[in-house]
């Protein structure tokens, strides 16, 4: 830890707190995990791949790891059974579920909601009273919640918008716990490469021409927003857009 990070950890609201990040082994989740640790938090990450989770914890000296398929209810409860007190819960897991409503397999389309709404429900129930009475909970939605398109993303857009509504409802239902949603725009993360494959570079170059800032966001920038939502005690029931203004065009 750098000297600046040590100094920050003594003053940060995350100092000494236990942060649990579901989807914390890559992309935005991993960036947020590293920044939370630098702020003095004890971080546990949950990922779908056991070996990757172990390696991430070893490389970053996090508090611990768990592995679970978030669409498998039993796996969620088993993975979180021995997790202790949690001060901040972050749920960022989810794949890019794309398919046109009249063409795609419905079981596959359901995954958009299984990975987001229902996975969140089961994580919250699995933690129960382990979640601090003044905890923060951070969800993720995405730009599609505001601007769906015609390219097979209608169900994913609906699931993203549902996360924002879910968070607002929980901000009331679980009070005084705070519940917020991060809504990132185009971010350069591994899921982008996995989704686009060889077409990524051409897509990114085209996108840069239309985005107000002429670039994609970074996982670190989105991770900073996650840390902000955890640490700012007056943020509640809010959607934080981290999209470089992409929703405006």
249 found inside a domain: no
85 found inside a domain: yes
3-class DSSP assignment, residue 192:
helix
What would the pLDDT profile of 72-113 be if each residue is shown by its tens digit? 999 999 999 999 999 999 999 999 999 999 999 999 999 999
Supply the pLDDT for residue 197.
77
The domain that holds 38 is classified in CATH as 3.40.50.720
What would the pLDDT profile of 164-210 be if each residue is shown by its tens digit? 999 999 999 999 999 999 999 999 988 777 777 777 888 889 889 99
244 found inside a domain: no
CA 209 to mean position of chain CA atoms: 27
| Enclosing domain of residue 216 | 3-239
How many distinct structural domains can be found in the chain? Answer: 1
Supply the pLDDT for residue 5.
53
Query: For the chain, percent helix, then strand, then coil, each to nearest 5?
Result: 50, 20, 30
Supply the pLDDT for residue 96.
92
212 found inside a domain: yes
Q: What percent of the chain has pLDDT over 90?
A: 87
181 found inside a domain: yes
Supply the pLDDT for residue 10.
59
Distance CA 148, CA 141 (A): 12
248 found inside a domain: no
247 found inside a domain: no
Answer whether residue 129 shows pLDDT above 80: yes
Supply the pLDDT for residue 199.
79
- Cβ proximity of 122 and 93 under 8 Å: no
DSSP secondary structure code for residue 144 in this structure: G
Looking up tokens 């942060």 gives: 19
Name every residue whose Cβ is closer than 8 Å to that of residue 159 and which is 6 or more positions away in sequence: 97, 112, 113, 115, 116, 117
71 found inside a domain: yes
Answer whether residue 1 shows pLDDT above 90: no
Name every residue whose Cβ is closer than 8 Å to that of residue 120 and which is 6 or more positions away in sequence: 91, 139, 163, 166
pTM of structure: 0.93
């Amino acid at each position: 830890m750098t000297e600046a990070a040590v100094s920050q950890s003594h003053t940060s609201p995350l100092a000494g707190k236990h942060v649990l990040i579901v989807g914390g082994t890559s992309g935005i989740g991993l960036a947020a995990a590293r920044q939370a640790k630098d702020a003095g938090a004890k971080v546990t990450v949950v990922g779908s791949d056991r070996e990757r989770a172990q390696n991430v914890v070893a490389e970053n000296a996090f508090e611990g790891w768990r592995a679970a398929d978030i669409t498998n209810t039993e796996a969620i409860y088993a993975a979180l059974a021995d997790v202790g007190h949690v001060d901040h819960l972050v749920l960022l897991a989810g794949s890019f579920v794309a398919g046109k409503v009249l063409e795609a397999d419905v079981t596959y389309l359901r995954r958009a909601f299984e990975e987001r709404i229902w996975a969140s429900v089961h994580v919250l129930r699995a933690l129960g009273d382990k979640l601090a009475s003044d905890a923060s909970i951070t969800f993720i939605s995405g730009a599609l919640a505001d601007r769906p398109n015609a390219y097979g993303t209608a169900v994913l857009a609906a699931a993203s918008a549902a996360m924002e509504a879910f968070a607002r409802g929980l901000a009331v239902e679980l009070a005084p716990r705070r519940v917020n949603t991060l809504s990132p725009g185009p971010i350069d993360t591994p899921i982008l490469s996995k989704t686009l494959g060889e077409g990524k570079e051409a897509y990114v170059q085209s996108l840069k021409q239309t985005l107000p800032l002429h670039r994609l966001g970074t996982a670190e920038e989105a991770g900073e927003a996650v840390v902000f939502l955890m640490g700012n005690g007056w943020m509640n029931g809010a959607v934080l857009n981290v999209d470089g203004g992409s929703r405006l065009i």
